[in-house]
Structure 1
Amino acid sequence: MITTQPTEILKKTLSLGFIGVGWIGRNRMEVLLRDTNAEALAIAEPSKDNAEEALKSAKNAVLANSPSDLYENEDLDGIVIATPSAMHAQQSIEALKAGKSVFCQKPLGRTATEVSDVVEAAEKADKLLAVDLSYRYTKAFKAVYDIIQNGEIGEIYAADLVFHNAYGPDKEWFYDINKSGGGCVMDLGIHLIDLALWTLDFPEIKEVKSHLYHHGKKLTSSNNEVEDFASVAMTSEKDTTINLQCSWNLSAGKEAIIEARFYGTKGGAAFKNVNGSFYDFKAEKYKGTQTETLVTPPDDWSGRAGVIWADVISQGKGFDRESAEEFIKISKIIDRIYGRE
């Protein structure tokens, strides 16, 4: 995925369309309008309340009757998609076929097949495709990534990543496996998989063992329920152990526990949320019993991934093969976790 920092001045004004402006879609739109020279020309949103709220920030935008109106709009450079997961792949493909760059909420697709189809459309159109895997763009995680990449804590042999959310999603479609593609792994675990694989340079994963639960009972492949707790153990080609846990509605004693810890031959490093926050993070470096704090809040990271996407588009760049292949690799791991490889 594209990881350059946003530039202060974009090279061209971008005209963007937005499909879905619920709270996350509206947040991404507001950050793009605030931090880039992009303008919102069109919005497709079935909820009248959401649309009216979005128009408070995008005063010159036109409300479209359907997403098709955005695909057909020749004035749009890109489309931002924040709709239910079942719609992501097809909407992305339609936008790309129409010659628009795409910034999509995760997951890009419910399966690796869907993701591969979107990537193929992006390559054929030579348009930039990005996914809002937002935690890698926090200053705290970037600090952890950098010290691992420059070898400060040696060769990584183990990683433990956790995302426990004391609340479950408030939209019914999250709990319908046909619409969501999966439960807490698809919703939260995808971030953990991305952080682990990105930090370790996307190694081949030779083994995946998963334990998925619904209301405390283990799921099997024949179940149609989505998991609300998952524990996953992976082993890379270099025998690095990667352990993941994620959940909805866990009695964690706080709103959220979000951590990514990496252990190397010369020390350790961690990305951690602060006081149960979904938004505040710190980074730490470990040597034996000593802790060095690398980054502390505040960090206005929400929407940063979209700003970078817009920046790269403004520079005239199209399809990025490296980031596209990362999306496919992540989706293949998720398929293996769900036993549908």
Structure 2
Amino acid sequence: MITTLPTENLNKTLALGFIGVGWIGRNRMEVLLKDSNAEALAIAEPSKDNADEALKSATNAIIANSPSELYENGDLDGIVIATPSAMHAQQSIEALKAGKSVFCQKPLGRTASEVSEVVEVAEKANKLLAVDLSYRYTKAFRAVYDVIQNGEIGEIYAADLVFHNAYGPDKEWFYDIKKSGGGCVMDLGIHLIDLALWTLNFPEINEVRSNLYKHGKKLTSCNEHVEDFASVAMTSEKDTTINLQCSWNLSAGQEAVIEARFYGTKGGAAFKNVNGSFYDFKAEKYKGTQTETLVTPPDDWSGRAGVVWADALSSGQDFDRKSAEEFIKTSEIIDRIYGR
């Protein structure tokens, strides 16, 4: 997937279909319609209230009776998927087989096997596949990424990743292992695992040790229950230590704690949320006891990943092997965290 921030809308106007227009799906749709050369032609959404709300922005869209009507619609260039996790892989596969490019909410699949199957179909169809790994597209994290890629803080030997959501999900399916594929690691940790692996150029991970908890009790199996707290230690082929903690409903003293800190031989850098916000982030660079602020809010990043996908699609980009392989590598790490 193209990882630069969009600068201008490109060539053809895209005709898009949307499967799922709840809060996240509707937000992504509204940003796409505002900031890219895209129009919404069709929407598949079982909730009438959600569909009616979406039509306030997508005034020319039709409401389909099922996702299959979108797959069969020959006018669509791409489909945006924002449904419960259990549906992502199959809906992506059906869309790709029908010749549509896909932008899907994370996770692309509940297991590495599901993700690999989607990627295989995307490659065979030669269609652009992207996943809404949205924090890559914040200005704050991009500043941290650039600092590290430019060698400004030297060789990275440690990364500390934290994502605590003091509320936790409000949809029941998140707590059903068969529907979600996992708990807070799958919901929150996936973002930070992706950020760390991407920043470190997707090294091989030699060791993964995880401790998963539900209501303060350690889980011995992830086959029946989802975790609400996770502590994970990973070691890369270059002996870089990557530590992750994530949770739902933790007494964090604020709405959220979201951080990705990187320590190198010449300094450090961090991506951090501001005042417990889920939306406001800053970037800092460290040298000894000194802190340099690189980026501060505001940054209207919500939906930016979809705009990048739409701009790439509009300019004619097809299957991107590099990003597809990254999706698989991240899902394989998550499988290892869950002991699968």
TM-score computed with the length of structure 1 as normaliser: 0.99
Code of the aligned partner of 2:105: Q
Code of the aligned partner of 2:114: E
Contact 1:269 1:286 in 2 (8 A): yes
Q: In structure 2, what is the Cα distance between the partners aligned to 1:2 and 1:321?
A: 11
The superposition leaves residues 291-338 of structure 1 with CA deviations (integer Å, 9 ceiling, x where unpaired) of 000000000000000000000001111000000000000000000000
Displacement of 1:50 after TM fit? 0.3
| 1:270 maps to 2:273 | no
Displacement of 1:78 after TM fit? 0.1
Q: In structure 2, what is the Cα distance between the partners aligned to 1:199 and 1:84?
A: 28
* Residue 70 of structure 2: aligned partner: 70
| 1:239 maps to 2:239 | yes
Contact 1:174 1:180 in 2 (8 A): yes
Q: Counterpart of 2:94 in 1: which secondary structure?
A: helix
| CA RMSD of superposed structures (Å) | 0.7
| 1:19 maps to 2:16 | no
Displacement of 1:2 after TM fit? 2.2
Q: Which runs of 5+ in 1 are unaligned?
A: none
Q: In structure 1, what is the Cα distance between the partners aligned to 2:169 and 2:133?
A: 18
* Residue 176 of structure 1: aligned partner: 176
Contact 2:37 2:314 in 1 (8 A): no
Matches within 5 A, 1:166-205: 166-205=166-205
* Residue 339 of structure 1: aligned partner: 339
Q: In structure 2, what is the Cα distance between the partners aligned to 1:223 and 1:323?
A: 29
Contact 1:7 1:311 in 2 (8 A): no
How many equivalent pairs are there? 340
* Residue 296 of structure 2: aligned partner: 296
Q: Which runs of 4+ in 1 moved over 4 A?
A: none
Contact 1:126 1:318 in 2 (8 A): yes
Q: Counterpart of 1:8 in 2: which secondary structure?
A: coil
Code of the aligned partner of 1:119: V
* Residue 159 of structure 1: aligned partner: 159
Matches within 5 A, 1:48-127: 48-127=48-127
Code of the aligned partner of 2:305: A
| 1:307 maps to 2:307 | yes
The superposition leaves residues 170-220 of structure 1 with CA deviations (integer Å, 9 ceiling, x where unpaired) of 100000000000000000000010010000000000000000000000001
Code of the aligned partner of 1:60: N
% identical aligned pairs: 89
| 1:326 maps to 2:326 | yes
Contact 1:210 1:233 in 2 (8 A): yes
* Residue 260 of structure 1: aligned partner: 260
Contact 1:79 1:103 in 2 (8 A): yes
Q: Counterpart of 1:11 in 2: which secondary structure?
A: coil
Q: In structure 2, what is the Cα distance between the partners aligned to 1:141 and 1:29?
A: 23
The superposition leaves residues 25-54 of structure 1 with CA deviations (integer Å, 9 ceiling, x where unpaired) of 000000000001200000000001000000
The superposition leaves residues 66-101 of structure 1 with CA deviations (integer Å, 9 ceiling, x where unpaired) of 000000000000000000000000000000000000
Displacement of 1:4 after TM fit? 2.5
Displacement of 1:222 after TM fit? 6.1
TM-score computed with the length of structure 2 as normaliser: 0.99
Code of the aligned partner of 2:41: L
Code of the aligned partner of 1:336: R
Q: In structure 2, what is the Cα distance between the partners aligned to 1:143 and 1:213?
A: 34
Q: In structure 1, what is the Cα distance between the partners aligned to 2:94 and 2:296?
A: 41
Q: In structure 2, what is the Cα distance between the partners aligned to 1:222 and 1:28?
A: 31
Contact 2:9 2:35 in 1 (8 A): no
Q: Which runs of 5+ in 2 are unaligned?
A: none
Distance 1:222 1:335, change over 3 A: closer
Displacement of 1:6 after TM fit? 1.5
Mean Cα displacement is larger for which, 290-299 or 8-17?
A: 8-17
Q: Counterpart of 1:283 in 2: which secondary structure?
A: strand
Displacement of 1:10 after TM fit? 1.7
